[in-house]
Chain A
């Protein structure tokens, strides 16, 4: 452990360099303090980074920026793919519903047509099956005989 670390002061001969550079004693004190704080700050940062690295190195190497970029990229791809899939699904559902509607309409139209045809046939049947008036009876008899 150095003298600086033990006492929290700069190395003895460092004062010569600091004092030789300026005349302002207040600024010298400030400089002394700033350099000490700088050293302590770098030590703290380095210690934290070094110990973190040691822990991380035993497991998989982590790079949060890369991981975040990957996560963001994956999220974008997933959202765009899911958007496309959703749109396609929506379109398919709409097409199915339209087809069902069309089929129903066609069926209804066919039913209507069938009903009207049945009605027509029924009316024709009823018209044909009317009794021959009595005045026409001899003619009808003749037609039957001819056919025999």
Chain B
């Protein structure tokens, strides 16, 4: 009895340490992707950072209930999507959505290009294409945008997108098709 009472707290402390270590590894591994997804969704660096922090805070609170049915990334992405939805639905934040004070405009967002060895002309062309895609993304519904970004920015498989969003694969495909159609139309306009 006495031995048990000494051993048990030590055992639980070790389990807590392991859980903390695991969670810290998950944060290190997935934080950049979550931030990237939220940045692409909001086009607002401050908001993306805030929502990323909230996402990991929420994940930390619920880490013990994470059973590993899906990958940690899918689980975190689901939290991030829900937080983003909550944010936009929040009445107080609706004003900010309409004014978009912190989100950068399409031109500014299109400025970001990888530092390759391409010519100035190629860079201009790439910038123009990126601007068209951003314009198309801006016109998508929330769900279409999420599916599109998960597919073409986060490179998630259709099954993963379905698991993350809670939609069926067929619905994901339909949303993707519409989103890609929009991008195609936008690019066609820019010809």
Contacts and interface: CB of A to CB of B under 8 A. Distances in A.
Interface of A: 2, 4-5, 10-11, 13-14, 17-18, 20-22, 27, 30-31, 33-35, 37-50, 53, 63, 65
B57 to A, nearest CB: 15
Given A18-B180, A20-B177, A63-B46, 7 more contacts: A34-B129, A38-B130, A38-B153, A41-B130, A44-B115, A46-B32, A46-B39
Contact of B110 (A39, A41, A53): A41
A45 B184 contact: no
Contacts, number: 96
B151 interface: yes
Interface string B162-188: 000000000001001100110110011
A12 to B, nearest CB: 11
Q: How large is the interface on B (under 10, 10 to 19, 20 to 34, 35 or more residues)?
A: 35 or more
Interface in B57-112: 102, 109-110, 112
Nearest to A65: B102
A34 B173 contact: no
A44 B116 CA distance: 11
Nearest to B188: A27
A2 B129 contact: no
A57 B28 CA distance: 16
A7 B27 CA distance: 27
Given A46-B32, A46-B35, A39 B126 contact: no
B134 interface: yes
Nearest to A52: B45
Given A38-B133, A40-B113, A4 B155 contact: yes
A34 B132 contact: yes
A3 to B, nearest CB: 8
B153 A48 contact: no
A41 B155 CA distance: 14
A86 B40 CA distance: 52
Most B-side CB within 10 Å, residue of A46, A48, A53: A46
